Amino acid sequence: MNVAWRLAWRNLWRHRRRTWLTVGAMVFCNTLLVFLISLQLGSYGMMIDNSLGAFTGHAQIQHRDYFEQSKMRQTVPGVVSLASEVRQLTARESVAARAIGFALASSEERSFGIQITGVEPGYEARVSSLPGLVNSGRYLNAGDADAIVIGSVLARNLRVGLGDELTFLGSGRDGSIAAAVATVVGIVDSGIEDLDRAMAQVPLSWFQQVFSMGDQGHSVVVKFADLDDVAQGVAMLRDQLDLGDTLQVHDWDYLQPGLQQAITSDMTSAWFMYAVLILLVAFSVLNTQLMSVLERTREFGVMLALGMKPATLARLVGVETLMMAFLGLALGVLLGAVVSWYLSIVGFYYPGMEEMASRFNLPDRMYPEISALSLLWGPGIVFIGCLVAAVYPALRLFGLRPVEAMRAV
């Protein structure tokens, strides 16, 4: 170990208590940052997966105005063959065609306006989690025609059970009247009120017949292996498919812009708090280092008189800060990682979270995500902040005059 480093290390422990208090501030701040950031990143991941997994998927091919206006006649022609073409291009089975319409659904006792989705029974379960949540009856089969699967809240509101019939009255794509009768074969209970109220799925071929759609539909939903594959996959589809002017490939960010923005705004407001914490720790370091420079005025005067350059002394103060900051970083990351790791196993919960979580499609326990980013993002900035805080004390050394300094008390 070279002399400057050894000197710095010893200087650090001249005021044991002061150094530990300063390091303690860093450790406190770092632990908190690691825990909060990994919790945030974990919940964002879950929020995206749950929101997209329920219905939207990672990408959709739609008529270019359908997303904004969702009119019945903004269709995708030959939607089933397009879906199988996408399946070949992506080499994935998780591609499904859909069509969506509105109708007044009537049971024996009740009538409600609902949104009906025509799906490909064989493929829908691969892009959406809803088919897997059927809790009574069964999901649609390839051979089904006038069968419907509905959400549990809708079933309750319509007062229907398995085997009951629902009558639909709506308008078809060409403005004609669409009327039909379907039998309830399954009821889905996702636990999310909004989904269970809105869900009503029928086989796509039957939907096309009832709503005079011909071979058309409204979207082809694609789910990739991973969120990280979406950008590449969407680019490939845009490149390879001949979609003409009217059709477009939208990724999930376009289809659910609220999701990314909710994450951005949450991250922004969280960073306001983090910035304040980091600033406070930096003040703490500034205070400590300034005091340690001022109390050593005589000593520094002697060193200057012996021919040491001010830059060398400044470097000494810098190395001291570096050591202190590193100690804070190492201990803070370690402690934060332990806390996050423990909570990533048992889950994190606070009272009142349930109601909020369900609004963002989150489960009622959160699991922090531990990664290099979540561990080092916050503490890294604390580290830099601490070094910056030592600049002013170090700069003071350049104004020091040896004779006056040696006379200082």
Partner 1 sequence: MRLPLGTVTTLAWRNLWRNYRRTLIMLAAIAVGVWAMIFMNAIMRGMTDQMVRNGLNLLPGEVQIHHPAYRADPSVVNSMAPPSGELLAALQAAPVEAWAARVRVPAVVASEYDSRGIVLVGMDPAPESRLGSLPDTIIEGRFLDSADDRGVVLGASLADRLETDLGKRVVIMSQDPDNNVAERGARVVGIYRARLRSTEDVFIFAGITPTQAMLNLENKVSEIAATGNDYRVAEGWAPGIAAAAGPGLEVRHWQALDPFLGSMLSVQDGFALVFMVVIFLALSFGLVNTLVMAVFERVREIGLMQALGMRPGLIMLQILTESLMLLALGLVIGNLSAWLSIKPLESGIDISSVAEGMEMMAMGTTLHPALDYRDMVLSTVVVIGLGLLASLLPAWRAARLDPIRALAKN
Contact 123, 96 (CB under 8 A): yes
Contact 218, 62 (CB under 8 A): yes
Q: What is the largest CA-CA distance in the chain?
A: 102
Contact between 92 and partner 1 per CB under 8 A? no
- Closest separation in Å from C-beta 80 to partner 1: 23
Q: Which stretch binds partner 1 (CB under 8 A): 84-92, 289-297, 302-310, 364-372?
A: 289-297
Residue from 7, 24, 137, 214 touching partner 1 (CB under 8 A): that is 24
Q: Which is nearer to partner 1, 132 or 175 (CB)?
A: 175
- Closest separation in Å from C-beta 253 to partner 1: 11
Residue from 6, 10, 14, 110 touching partner 1 (CB under 8 A): that is 110
Of 144, 196, 146, the C-alpha closest to 168 is 146
193-222 residues labelled b (16+ CB within 10 A) or e (exposed): eebbbbbbbbbbbbbbbbbbbeebbbbbbb
Task: Report CA-CA distances (Å) from 48 to 53, 174, 226, 258, 316.
Answer: 8, 36, 11, 11, 48
Contact between 157 and partner 1 per CB under 8 A? yes
Q: How far apart are CA 104 and CA 166, in angstroms?
A: 10
Contact between 69 and partner 1 per CB under 8 A? yes
Contact between 84 and partner 1 per CB under 8 A? no
Interactions with partner 1, residue window 354-373 (CB under 8 A): 354-356, 358-360
Q: What does the block give as tokens for 136? A: 């009574």
Contact 228, 239 (CB under 8 A): no
Interactions with partner 1, residue window 177-236 (CB under 8 A): none
CA-based angle 59:72:63, to the nearest 5?
A: 35
Helical H segments across 65-174, by residue range: 66-69, 79-90, 121-127, 152-158
Q: Which stretch binds partner 1 (CB under 8 A): 129-137, 142-150, 179-187, 286-294?
A: 286-294
Contact between 376 and partner 1 per CB under 8 A? no
Residue type for position 382: V
Q: Which residue has the tokens 């196993």?
A: 345
Contact between 352 and partner 1 per CB under 8 A? yes
As beta bridge partners, residue 113 has 104
Q: Which is nearer to partner 1, 83 or 166 (CB)?
A: 166
- Closest separation in Å from C-beta 32 to partner 1: 7
Contact between 399 and partner 1 per CB under 8 A? no
Contact 361, 54 (CB under 8 A): yes
Contact 247, 76 (CB under 8 A): yes
Segment (H or E) for 152: helix 152-158
Question: Which positions from 117 to 156 touch partner 1 by CB under 8 A, shown as an x/- string?
Answer: ---------------------------------------x
Q: Which stretch binds partner 1 (CB under 8 A): 2-10, 11-19, 76-84, 370-378?
A: 11-19
Contact between 174 and partner 1 per CB under 8 A? no
Tell me which residues touch partner 1 (CB under 8 A). 15, 17-18, 21-22, 24-25, 28-29, 32, 69-73, 102-104, 106, 108-115, 156-157, 159, 169-171, 175, 257-265, 269, 272-273, 276-277, 279-281, 283-284, 286-288, 290-291, 294, 350-356, 358-360
